[in-house]
Amino acid sequence: MMFDSHCHLNDDALYPRIDEVIVDAKKTGVAKFLVVGYNKASSELAVKIAEKYEECYAAIGFHPCDIFDISEEEFQETLKLASHKKVVAIGEIGLDYHWEKEQARRDLQKEYFIRQIEFANEHHLPITIHNRESNEDCLKILKEHKPLHGGVMHCYSGSVEMLKDILDLGLMISLGGPVTFTNAKTPKEVAEAVPLEKLLIETDCPYLTPHPHRGEKNEPKYICLVSEEIARLKDISKKHVDQVTYENTCRLFNIDE
């Protein structure tokens, strides 16, 4: 069994076909899905999906690129969703400096990242972290505002050298489609280096489609390609990767296996 630890079935690219997408994924061995929000509407839809489908769970929160035009009321209303029994994490939250070059806007991302970490700590929830081209600031915040109930660096794009700092904070590493890319040297090195008991797998669908389907819309059914590549790199069986990452995900998000 596999657990897609980060997917966007709440995205317009997948939601209209959600029944088909889930059925197709189950045929490849996907047993559970964490549907991740990134703003108020997507968080609400993630909860709605989790209510309807037994195999789905929800994470709620604001992506760093989605915090610039929100009101305090909208922010607080979204966080109230955390009381729902199938909300298992706050996310995706973090920093994204790829699109944001102005220091004032980066500072606002940091403010909301910290606020959401503190909210997760108060409500005994893990976090799922988006970190793009912001390694130094992201790590500094995580050290100064440590997630007390764990978390995961979603679609980890950092270096092997940074792994120790992440793992020392008690966080997990999640790998997705990029580990399968033929020219992806660093993700493959990370896959080899990260202990299997600290690893999750994901699709981040509809984005980051694994090789050889790059250019197509990503779906949870393709997570098997991520697992296969990790198994190859670690020289272990895919079945073992599937089992351990499934157990890791259930444990992190406090989900019964």
Confidence of residue 240 (pLDDT cuts 50, 70, 90): very high
- pTM score: 0.97
Cβ(120)–Cβ(126) below 8 Å: yes
Residue type present at position 153:
M
pLDDT, tens only, 45-56: 999 999 999 999
Whether 11 has a pLDDT exceeding 90, the answer reads yes
Cβ(249)–Cβ(255) below 8 Å: yes
Whether 7 has a pLDDT exceeding 90, the answer reads yes
Strands 151-153 and 127-132 turn out to be parallel
Q: Given this model, what pLDDT does residue 121 score?
A: 98
How far apart CA 77 and CA 183 sit, in angstroms, is 43
From the centroid of its chain, how far is CA 68? 21
Rounded mean pLDDT of the chain?
A: 97
Q: Given this model, what pLDDT does residue 194 score?
A: 98
Domains of the chain from N-terminus onward: 2-252 (3.20.20.140)
Going by C-beta distance under 8 Å and a sequence separation of 6 or more, which residues neighbour residue 122?
none
Confidence of residue 257 (pLDDT cuts 50, 70, 90): confident
Containing 59, the helix (H) or strand (E) segment is: strand 56-60
Mean pLDDT of 9-17: 98
**High-pLDDT (> 70) share of the chain, %:** 100
pLDDT, tens only, 30-47: 999 999 999 999 999 999
HSE-CB of 221 using CA atoms within 13 angstroms: 15
Q: Given this model, what pLDDT does residue 85 score?
A: 97
Q: Given this model, what pLDDT does residue 236 score?
A: 98
How far apart CA 130 and CA 124 sit, in angstroms, is 20
pLDDT, tens only, 107-128: 999 999 999 999 999 999 999 9
Mean pLDDT of 219-243: 98
Going by C-beta distance under 8 Å and a sequence separation of 6 or more, which residues neighbour residue 44?
37, 78, 81
pLDDT, tens only, 138-184: 999 999 999 999 999 999 999 999 999 999 999 999 999 999 999 99
Mean pLDDT of 181-200: 96
